[in-house]
Homo-oligomer: A and B are copies of this chain.
């Protein structure tokens, strides 16, 4: 790629970013967009809808940048929990390492690369076309002593990253522990989830749970809640909700219609009839629902799973850590999630079924990852002009225009790829949800991992080996040749990934600010929704955003010594991400759950993988550049890195799995002296209740709030 092409790309994307920023600065001030841009503040009630029009609202301002910049970590913790802090620290962590690597890269490696004349020597014609390659390691002469500079840079940066990883893991561990110490008694600390409860013909599930845990933990067992099958109730609930929405919509219409239709009584009467009909139907459903709910909570089909509540954190932890039953596949315990975090719909309860569904999901997501590009290529194949003309004959006339055809052939394939890629996080989330996890947080953690590996495989390796599925897999079946193949293929894609950072990175993060999709959705739905309608505050989809940030980290780490030119663009990306995500945490997202930092191990693992991948490439590069001594001397580095990782796994990972006896007992002792604990126990018993079993009352809601007419009639 030539420099001018890169500059064009940078120019276009900078303009796009500026456009998004300006638009955001203006649009966020319009009260009609509050639901999109500051839903969290709206829900908290800290920001009120100002309907007075002032000129200021039309002038872009940067006050939000300053506000996001000033946000302290404690404030962030209060606003979006430890998970938000961990996410932001991932970005600051990347900023730190790429600042360090950037200084080395730009001041040391880049001059060394430019100094070489390997490319000039080989082929002048090719050299002109690929002028960006002058800045890469490819330009350093084979066997040159200057390569030792790159060698040292690899060692220094690896050391720096590992040191930083260690302190970061330590810091987040300590945050997690202090978060636990400072927390009030929380239901999920006193609760475990038991699955694979053995069934017996003589007693119900509830009875056997009661007798089993009463027998084992007579002094600390408190109560239990058997999970019931509520899929039927859930569908009834859904029906009722849809009807309720429809009725309220119809009911709120008259105020609008008054202006439009005046006293068109015939229509009004007819509409009233429809409303009454709907309401009767709604009441019927509700009646039905109430019956089902009472039936379910009394004698509904019990699943073989139950939440078991204890009087102390230590006994809950004991029940979790110890194998309960003589048969290890019965009475399987796990830590209960927060009540709000429980994923009720899918409660796979038997050991075998969970095991098989897990296996199936692992195979399915691997196949999905491996074979993803095949349907994409097929669909892209369908979008050539002649195919389109056959499928949609009416387009023929438009497609003959040169500009349109250029757009179609140039952008359509890329657009299709982007659309397919947008489907990946939800698809992976769906796969994780049927894997047998019982909480939204676990599902998102698992989906994050899946999406990360998906991205690494389909964006990094598929691009690098720019080949078919089979050829890429073949490379991994010959482990001996991997470094060599990578050393040839990875530097060749340097300019692609530099533009990737600019186009994908910058755009994705500024469209995150502008919230393109929610904004368009709100524009479409605005005419149909009432302004004081209830709305949900979104939560940040970690499984979409975290893998993206980590993938840019991987690009930076693997390319920093190959093509240091990538680093300034990456730094720009992380700076944008830093400001924008902080702003979004303040204004948009509210946490749906609190894992207290369980996302960090994903970040750590991803960094270690990036480092080892970088080392493997380095081994290959130095061998390719005929500096076999350096190639050999790199070998201890991945070994040391993996040992470091192993140490961190032992030193820090257990903290993220469960709390230690020491801290549990400390918290339990505090509670013993607290008189409020009795009340907490009282609330604990009802904390884990399937939302499908909570009584609802839509019809009376309508009556009391909106329709004095009917309530009187």
- Identify the stretch in A158-166, A200-208, A313-321, A618-626 within 8 Å (CB) of chain B at 4 or more residues: A313-321
Say yes or no: A323 contacts B658, CB within 8 Å.
yes
Contact (A650, B328) CB under 8 Å given A318-B318, A661-B323: yes
Nearest chain B CB to A450 CB, angstrom units? 20
- Identify the stretch in A138-146, A379-387, A476-484 within 8 Å (CB) of chain B at 4 or more residues: A476-484
Q: Which B residue's beta carbon lies closest to that of A480?
A: B477
Contact (A328, B654) CB under 8 Å given A477-B480, A479-B477, A647-B355: yes
Nearest chain B CB to A549 CB, angstrom units? 28
Say yes or no: A652 contacts B328, CB within 8 Å.
yes
Q: Which B residue's beta carbon lies closest to that of A653?
A: B328
Interface residues of A in 316-357 (CB under 8 A from B): 317-319, 321-329, 351, 355
Say yes or no: B317 contacts A660, CB within 8 Å.
no
Main secondary structure, interface of A, reads helix
Once the chains are docked, how many angstroms separate the CA of A321 from the CA of B325?
15
Q: Is A118 an interface residue (CB 8 A)?
A: no
Once the chains are docked, how many angstroms separate the CA of A464 from the CA of B328?
40
Once the chains are docked, how many angstroms separate the CA of A651 from the CA of B325?
11
Chain B positions within 8 Å of A650 at CB level: 328-329, 351, 355
Q: Is A7 an interface residue (CB 8 A)?
A: no
Q: Which B residue's beta carbon lies closest to that of A331?
A: B662
Say yes or no: A177 contacts B318, CB within 8 Å.
no
Contact (A324, B661) CB under 8 Å given A318-B318, A329-B650: yes
Write out, one digit per residue, whether chain A residues 449-490 have a CB within 8 A of any chain B CB (1) or not (0): 000000000000000000000000010011110000000000
Task: Identify A480's interface contact among B478, B643, B663, CB under 8 A.
Answer: B478
Task: Identify A321's interface contact among B321, B652, B665, CB under 8 A.
Answer: B321
Once the chains are docked, how many angstroms separate the CA of A560 from the CA of B321?
44
Q: Is A65 an interface residue (CB 8 A)?
A: no
Nearest chain B CB to A181 CB, angstrom units? 10
Interface pairs (18), CB distance under 8 Å: A215-B665, A318-B318, A318-B321, A319-B661, A323-B660, A324-B661, A325-B660, A326-B655, A328-B652, A328-B655, A329-B651, A351-B650, A355-B647, A355-B650, A477-B478, A477-B479, A477-B480, A478-B479
16 more contacts with CB within 8 A, not counting A318-B318, A477-B479, A479-B479, are: A216-B661, A216-B662, A322-B660, A322-B661, A323-B660, A325-B662, A326-B660, A327-B651, A328-B650, A328-B652, A328-B653, A329-B650, A329-B651, A359-B643, A477-B480, A478-B479
Instruction: For the complex of A and B, list the 3 residue pairs with the smallest distance between their C-beta atoms, beginning with the closest.
Output: A321-B321, A328-B654, A322-B661
